[in-house]
Amino acid sequence: MSLISQSAADEAHTQPQISIVGAGAIGQLIYQQLSSANHSNAVSINFISRTETSQQQSLTFTNLAQQQTTQMAEFVGRNDWSHKLLKTQLLIVCVKAYQVIAALKPIIKLLSPNCHILLLHNGMGPHLDVSQMLNGQGLSLGTTSQGALKQSPWHTAQTGQGVTQLGAFSGALMNETVKRTLLSCIPQSQWYEDIMPMLWQKLAINVAINPLTAIHNCRNGELAAEQYRNIITAAVTELVQVAAAESIVLDLEGLLTRVYQVIELTASNYSSMHQDVQHQRKTEIEAINGFIVLMASRHTIRAEINQQLFASITALEQGYSSNA
């Protein structure tokens, strides 16, 4: 057997090591789904922790059938970063959009050039900065409509099914064994040769629903009212114009139909931005409407509605941060 074919064979039988940054609801959900492969010892999974020392943490998960399971997860502390990160073949980043760069800065220099990074967060924008930080690593992007909610710091419940869309963005392609593991373990996951249109379509839903529910303190379903129709149409129209300038062709009518479908399907839900504002937390507005405003300015396109929504949420954030 030649050296090349021997290397390919070794890779096919190598147990993938996957590390997750971010133990929020989605991070714990993805961990649970990936760990379902461990019955055959197919994958090694851990979380990258900010603590100094590594530790084992008991995680509880409640599925959609209300069945509860508990398992031990490895949280790799800073003392063991250099050892574990060097072996990591896939690093999944599940933090908030505004936390991505800070989370990656101390880690990326310890990764093997053969490691692949997957960003899985709301909104867009951090990928542009991360692509400039890479040292040989490949970068993929993803979005998921799976629902998960923390019952406590180490107990996550899945609250809804959904699709997970993944695809390469820049650099070396993801290891095929790792890709197969992802797609086989995450339900309703799909790989796209061009992921950008999928991300823009998801962004269209976010620019319409997230800021309006936060500003008007309402559930998603209330946005079906006639009073919100013009501003939703305008915000999504601006997004389509900006996407076109980025060579992404989107169907406005199809997007608006999808926005209202999501409003109906999630009528009783509060958006993540609504919850952030209600709990006086920093929102992801910069990666949602703020991203449209940023990209519009680069192409000298007017995005007045997205600018207004961005300014309104920023004002809310500044209001409660000044009172802290």
Total residues found in the chain within this entry:
324
Which residue matches tokens 């197919």?
A: 42
Q: What string of DSSP letters covers 283-294? A: -SGGGTHHHHHH
* HSE toward the beta carbon, residue 170, CA cutoff 13 A: 12
* Cα–Cα distance measured from residue 243 to residue 250, given in angstroms and rounded to the nearest whole number: 7
Q: What string of DSSP letters covers 124-154? A: SSHHHHHHHH-SS-EEEEEEE--EEEEEETT
Active site residues: 202
- DSSP letter for 192, please: E
3-state class (DSSP) for residue 110: coil
> First and final CA of the chain: distance in angstroms?
67
Kindly report the CA angle at 162 between 160 and 164, in degrees rounded to 5? 140
Backbone angles phi, psi at 113, to 5 degrees: -60, -20
Sign of CA dihedral 127, 133, 138, 144: negative
- DSSP letter for 175, please: P
Number of Cβ within a 10 Å radius of residue 6 = 10
310: its two tokens:
């961005």
Q: Which residues lie across from 147 on neighbouring strands?
A: 160
Query: 252 near 235, Cβ under 8 Å?
Result: no
* Cα–Cα distance measured from residue 294 to residue 317, given in angstroms and rounded to the nearest whole number: 19
